[in-house]
Amino acid sequence: SKSEYGDNEKTNKEIEAAKKVADQLKKDGWSFASHTWGHLNMTQASLADIQQDNERWQNEVAPILGKTNILIYPFGADISDWQPYSEANQKFAYLKQQGFDIFCNVDASTPAWGQLGTDYYRNARINIDGIRFEADLKGENPILDQFINVKEVYDQKDRG
């Protein structure tokens, strides 16, 4: 990003190369989502922090990937509890105003969870990462079993 690496020839070349990749992925049927600019914990962040972060995303990432209506919360950190969103939630009102209407948190307690509001869809995703693999291998949470066999894909020999 120009704010991190400067507005220079190298950064501009990297941005152009990234645009080409994103454009090809879109031609192949891929969609993109925002995961925020700075991997912001949306639960803890103030409205002002969310606005500043989204402004950076819109200015620096959206020109590469294109517009999106999907927000995938970093850390799964939702802007509310399980109750439906409402305009009284300032974070939700702002994000809706910015064009987001699909919101994805993290919930590994169930294979699927969704909430359809009148003007948004909210769902939970299961993080398929080292944390989830470790919980599966220890027998603490076998939620991934219906999707993959962690013991078959996790290389315990090289990972210890």
**Domain map of the chain by residue range?**
31-126, 128-160
Average pLDDT, the chain: 93
> 122: closest CA among 71, 67, 68, 160?
71
For the entire predicted model, the pTM comes to 0.86
Residue found under tokens 């031609």: 27
Check whether 143 has a pLDDT greater than 80: yes
What local confidence, expressed as pLDDT, does residue 46 receive? 98
What local confidence, expressed as pLDDT, does residue 128 receive? 86
Strand partners, 34: 71
pLDDT tens digits along 68-86 = 999 999 999 999 999 999 9
Strand partners, 137: none
Distance CA 138, CA 142 (A): 9
- pLDDT tier at 117 (50, 70, 90 boundaries)? very high
Check whether 160 has a pLDDT greater than 70: no
Check whether 145 has a pLDDT greater than 70: yes
- pLDDT tier at 159 (50, 70, 90 boundaries)? low
Pick the residue with more confidence: 103 or 3? 103
- For the record, the structure tokens of 143 come out as 């939620």
Average pLDDT over residues 4-24: 92
Which strand ranges, in their side-by-side order, compose the sheet holding 121-125?
Answer: 70-72, 102-106, 121-125, 114-116
Pick the residue with more confidence: 3 or 112? 112
How many degrees, rounded to 5, is the angle at CA 29 between CA 23 and CA 33? 70
- pLDDT tier at 60 (50, 70, 90 boundaries)? very high
> 18: closest CA among 50, 65, 62, 59?
65
SS3 108: coil
Cβ neighbours of residue 135 under 8 Å, at least 6 residues apart?
Answer: 108, 141
Distance CA 69, CA 59 (A): 15
